[in-house]
Chain A
Amino acid sequence: MSDVSLVVNGRKVSGSVEDRTLLVHFLRENLGLTGTHVGCDTSQCGACVVHVDGKAVKSCTMLAVQASGSEVVTIEGLANGAELHPVQAAFKEHHGLQCGFCTPGMIMAATDMIRRHPEGLDEATVRAELEGNICRCTGYHNIVKAVLAASKTMAKSKGKAKAKAA
């Protein structure tokens, strides 16, 4: 057993878990944050993607104890109260989901992708960047549309914030 302490969605949390406990199970079972999903369990599908210290990782392929001391953001940490995060809003607007199982991982991957591409995104880049996220319903078309729309919205609001600051 090991003690694990993390900051998850801005909240300090800790627990004592078996060393073999995966981060995704710690989030779901110890913290009750069931928005992060286990899809394939073989590091391929990306339903379990969360951010650890600001980077998207597959939480089914990382031990909870390995992450101890890190900051974690899950799908539950994106919205600001009742106000959806721009990526969440874009997935809703563009019907970027059908069954919804892959959606938390898709959205965490998309926010990470948008952060890493401040220059903006095009369709080819979004499709290549979604290599690690599998959707078995929609055929990706609306997911790609949603990511592109969110990237534009976020660039605009950033621009506005800058203009305001100036």
Chain B
Amino acid sequence: MYAVTYHRAASVADATKLAKGKDAKYLSGGMTLIPAMKTRLAAPSDLIDLGHIADLKGIKVSGKTVTIGAGTTHSEVANNAKLKSVCPALTDLAGHIGDPHVRHKGTIGGSIANNDPAADYPAAMLALDATIVTNKREIAAAKFFKGLFETALKEGEIVTGVTFTAPEKAGYEKFRNPASRYAMTGVFVAKSKDGVRAAVTGAGDNGVFRSKEVEAALSKSFAASALEGVKVPSKNLMGDLHATPDYRANLVVVMAKRAVAKAG
């Protein structure tokens, strides 16, 4: 790791002030950023630690409206009983990110702001039609996730939380890379009164996306059998030494089936 100057922010306003004029990175749980700095893939001059800002932590469930603070860890999301009662798909997703030690540190805000093309949360946010809240504005998930590691966040803008309406039914299933354990393809399906949304992570060559084909089939009938014979085009899907675009296209349908089965 290259030398870096650490700052502990007391508030979000303090954090943006500390970052001003520097080649700084915001540090939340650090489960992606610190490994990236260790391998020198990231080399910020300054780190602004958001991990001690109390305002960024916590989960609120009021009726069907869910608000999760950006600094809430995966472990806190996974174990929140109220959230589990209205959206068990999301607590289940959080409980399968990384491993228990990573879940104690990694945060939902960090994951969303990083927008790794194989991260789990972006698929959930897109399928749940969530709103990403920053210190400046509110952004619909569909407009927030822009591409590989790219978001709508501007200079000085920090994700402070996410909010969404709990769906009637939802499920998430991923096919893990056997070594890295990241999703080689993960599908989050959600059924609400506005229809069915299905978002895919780990497969798109430009990050998370919605699958029209899966959504069309599930809109007719929200059952795994409705996906029988459905084909997803392999154009714009990732191909690497782990899986070809065709293989991933098939995985989208298989994971969607399992996600729907899980949604019940």
- A65 interface hit (Cβ, 8 Å): yes
Separation in Å of the A97 CB from the closest CB of chain B?
19
Q: Is A132 an interface residue (CB 8 A)?
A: yes
Q: A131 near B4 (CB under 8 angstroms)?
A: no
CB distance from A128 to the nearest CB of B (A): 9
Q: Is the contact region of chain A dominated by helix, strand, or loop, or is it mixed?
A: mixed
Q: Per-residue CB proximity of A145-162 to B under 8 Å, as 1/0? A: 000000000000000000
The answer to whether B34 and A62 touch across the interface, beta carbons within 8 angstroms, is: yes
* A2 on the B face (CB < 8 A): yes
In A55-77, the 8 Å CB interface with B consists of 55-58, 61-63, 65-66
Q: Which residues of A contact B141 (CB under 8 A)?
A: none
Known A43-B31, A58-B101: A131·B181 in contact at CB below 8 Å = yes
Q: How far is the CB of A103 from chain B (nearest CB, A)?
A: 16
17 extra interchain contacts, Cβ-Cβ under 8 A, other than A42-B39, A109-B101, A112-B100?
A: A19-B3, A19-B4, A20-B1, A22-B1, A41-B38, A43-B31, A43-B34, A46-B101, A49-B101, A55-B104, A56-B101, A57-B101, A57-B104, A57-B105, A63-B34, A65-B6, A132-B102
A93 lies within 8 A of chain B by Cβ: no
User: Is the C-beta of B170 less than 8 angstroms from some C-beta in chain A?
Assistant: no
* Binary contact readout B94-117 vs A (1 if CB under 8 angstroms, 0 otherwise): 000011111011000000000000
Q: Mark A126-150, 1 if CB is under 8 A from B, else 0.
A: 0001011100000000000000000
Complex CA–CA separation, A66 to B26 (angstroms): 13
Interface residues on B, range: 20 to 34
Q: Which of A61, A65, A109, A112 contacts B105 (CB 8 A)?
A: A61
A-B contact count (CB 8 A): 71
- Among B6, B37, B100, the residue within 8 A (CB) of A129 is B100
B49 at the interface (CB under 8 A from A): yes
CA–CA, A132 and B96, complex, Å: 11
Determine whether the beta carbon of B27 is less than 8 Å from that of A113. Answer: no
A-side interface residues, number (CB < 8 Å): 27
Point out the residues of chain A lying under 8 angstroms from B100, CB to CB: 56, 109, 112-113, 116, 129, 131-132
Whether the Cβ atoms of A62 and B38 lie closer than 8 Å is no
Closest-CB distance, B233 to chain A (whole angstroms): 34
Given A20-B4, A63-B6, A66-B49, A132-B38 contact (CB < 8 Å)? no
Q: How far is the CA of A146 from the CA of B61 in the complex (A)?
A: 39
Interface residues of A in 1-20 (CB under 8 A from B): 2, 18-20
Q: Shortest Cβ distance from B12 into chain A, in angstroms?
A: 18
